[in-house]
Structure 1
Amino acid sequence: MAKENKIFVVFDESKCYFVNQDLNLKNVLGTGDQCKGLYYYNEQGTRVNKSNLSFQCLLSQYDWHCRLGHPAELVMNVLKKSLNFDKSDKGLCCEVCQRAKQTREPFPLSDHVSSSLGELVHLDLWGPYRVTSSEGYKYFLTIVDDYTKAVWVYLIKSKDEVSHFITVFYNLIENQFNKKIKVFRSDNGTEFVNQYVNKFCADKGVIHQTSCAYTPQQNGIAERKHRHLLNVARSLMFQGGIPLRMWSECILTATYLINRLPSSVLNGKSPYEMI
């Protein structure tokens, strides 16, 4: 107010005075009363029209943008009339927003299309769960076939068992479906990247693809299947009032149901039907 109106503002313990530049208190343009630490302008005591003094300071849109926590420009446009922006302001160009709100670009959808069972198999390990199951399990290994979207789940007690169940699954596909697994895809966890798994893949001629560090999106199918399994299992537990120590049974039941329910990804077919 002092800058825009070329006036002085004088404070004492109970009042504030708006005085013209000659500091003559006889020419007080307006006063304000102090109440609980704040000075409130008294419109009745002013000697000039309110329009002569800009008692509502004109702030730029950028200043309001900063004070309100850097909202979007659409929000600022809604508030423009209420906040009475400076008319000379030409809009927002906020460097802080660019730094604070930047996000990683979305990963492109994979264009890989598998043509048969076992051509590409996704692996991921979930756990440890905070409650050990009644059988002593803390983890479960999720295996998803890329072509049929069928899921196999192996309950395990420690990460050391992962290598064993990879062998079990490979033999299952080979003997029951007469198919060869060509590619395994997993993250860089030590349960998947170790001497035993490396030797097994080399002996069987299986390519082992691993995702980049801190990039779970590259193993997104297995990660998403974890969420699907847990959602179904959690629903079963809530509906039946099942105690947490029975989570392993709910995971196996969820796996059975998911494999036999139609999927939009498979054009209405179920993974069981695809197999």
Structure 2
Amino acid sequence: MNLTLVCSEVNLASVPRNTWWLDSGATTHISVSMQGCLSYRKPSDGERNIFVGDGKSVEVKAIGHFRLLLGTGFYLDLKDTFFVPSFRRNLVSVSLLDKFGYSCSFGNNQFTLSLNSSIVGTGYLNAYDNLHLLDTIASYNETLHVESRGTKHKLNKENSASLWHKRLGHISKGRIERLISNGILESLDFSDFNVCVDCIKGKQTKTKRLGANKSTDVLELIHTDICGPFPTASWNGQQYFITFIDDYSRYGYIYLIHEKSQSLDVFKSYKAEVENQLNKRIKKVRSDRGVSTTVDMMAQVNNVQDHLRNS
């Protein structure tokens, strides 16, 4: 079972990720980040994808309980919110709000959100894209730290050692402690100073991959392969074909044959034609191990060197 989501989405250059928008067509709440999430769980098989208005499927990374602090001071809990980072904006489903007893009133480019006849939230109509922006205190969401077990920690971000580690160009813990002891920084909370993934990635080295040896002239290396038998024969009964491709020019020949045993005679004909035409000699023939017996026979022709490639 896949959930279907109907919503309007506008390709804006930039939508602040900490803003929340009312959507009367959305069938579920959508968040583009984990800010404001109190707890989360993995989506079930029927919740892994949702479909948007144009029929495209998008992946759901997690399903969580989000809490928003509205401009009125009211805490709005959005349960079973889908975390979809590929979306451009956070969406609040009007139909789900109605299900939990909330009511929305729209007029004069504004709206009010009420619960039990009391106004708990407000917002206004964005004239650019005709969506209603919910008035929230965005800084509150940024102070919530999510854990999968459902607990939350309120963190003063300005006193976070991890935050200053990133601000100062991922300096070491020792250098941060020296800045504190020298009075440059105030006392910081090192409880969140864990392993920095970005630091680990930055110190990794990339193994240099050597390029493949390329031919520098025609007939320096010839690639060959035999295919067949095919269930449908050609008009005169051939069920195999053999190919010869020059590594330098990529020019190729293809011959239809009745049996694999004809490959040696075909190679002799091909060899004579291209060597006379180009006034050069074939130096190497390379094939996969599927035609190793044939290549052994080819290697006997005028001492052509055969190189078997590991398949």
TM tier relative to shorter chain: 0.3 to 0.5
Richer in strand (by share): 2
TM-score scaled by length of structure 2: 0.36
Query: TM-score if structure 1 supplies the norm length?
Result: 0.40
Structure ranking higher in helix proportion: 1
